Amino acid sequence: MRLLVVDDDPKFRSYISTGLAESGIDSVTAGDPATALEVLRTDKQGFDLILLDVMMPVKTGWDLLIELRQEGRETPVIFVTARDTVEERIKGLKLGADDYVIKPFAFNELLARIEVAVRRRKALPPIEAFDLRLDLVRRQVTRAGKALDLSPREFDLLLTLVRAGGETLSRSDLLRNVWGIEFDPGTNVVDVHIGRLRRKLDRQGSALIHTVRGEGYRLGNEEAAV
């Protein structure tokens, strides 16, 4: 295993890298987000995980994570920080972090969280279709490398369409698989969510969700017959 440690405190970087080495884990350290980006862009070996502080000069850990995900870099990230409010932890996870560890911490706990994050990512590889990439662990989507801001329901809807492999799914199919409803309640909930999802996808490229008149919806590069 090989990790990148990003923190502006040299004593903390030394402490972490020493502890990782004693546990048989190689690491590279960076004192700020700009250096970390340079390392990631030039490194040829790759990293299994990034340990990332939040508050650093010029750019924050939040900023670095956003930039990484916008570049399509899917390396697992664990925030290791003294900032411990619930709101900040939620923010980190929503931005795409895999975990959030509060300083001070027991080193064995950090090791366990690293192992879980790496194992979980390997156990659930992302799904790719057309120019979409669906991260099943963090439940995030990118199109042509750009992150999409989808609601949980929109993510489930897109995942269901992707897994259909281009087959047309009826409204009843979508109600059952996405909403868990075994009957048609007579609402337009499917059409409303399809419309929202379609608009978000179309901002990044050509139309992917197509209406098959009288049948339902399908995912594909070419317009479906209507």
- Give residue 76's domain range: 2-123
d(CA 209, CA 186): 22
Q: Residue 222 burial by CB count (10 A; 0-12/13-18/19+): exposed, middle or buried?
A: exposed
The ranges of the chain with pLDDT < 50 are 224-226
State pLDDT tens for residues 72-117: 778 899 999 888 888 888 888 888 888 999 998 999 999 999 999 9
| Confidence at residue 226, expressed as pLDDT on a 0 to 100 scale | 39
Q: Identify whether residues 34 and 90 lie together within a single domain.
A: yes
Q: Identify whether residues 69 and 154 lie together within a single domain.
A: no
d(CA 151, CA 43): 34
| Confidence at residue 151, expressed as pLDDT on a 0 to 100 scale | 86
State pLDDT tens for residues 113-124: 999 998 887 777
Predicted TM-score (pTM) above 0.75 = no
| Confidence at residue 13, expressed as pLDDT on a 0 to 100 scale | 95
Q: Identify whether residues 9 and 119 lie together within a single domain.
A: yes
Domain boundary among 123, 141, 163: 123
| Confidence at residue 224, expressed as pLDDT on a 0 to 100 scale | 43
Contact call for residues 4 and 28 (beta carbons, < 8 A): yes
| Confidence at residue 215, expressed as pLDDT on a 0 to 100 scale | 93
Residues with Cβ within 8 Å of residue 133, at least 6 apart in sequence: 72, 74, 126, 127, 141, 142, 143
CATH assignment at residue 44: 3.40.50.2300
DSSP H helical segments within the chain, as ranges?
10-22, 33-42, 61-70, 86-95, 107-123, 152-163, 171-174, 189-202
| Confidence at residue 217, expressed as pLDDT on a 0 to 100 scale | 96
Q: Identify whether residues 45 and 140 lie together within a single domain.
A: no
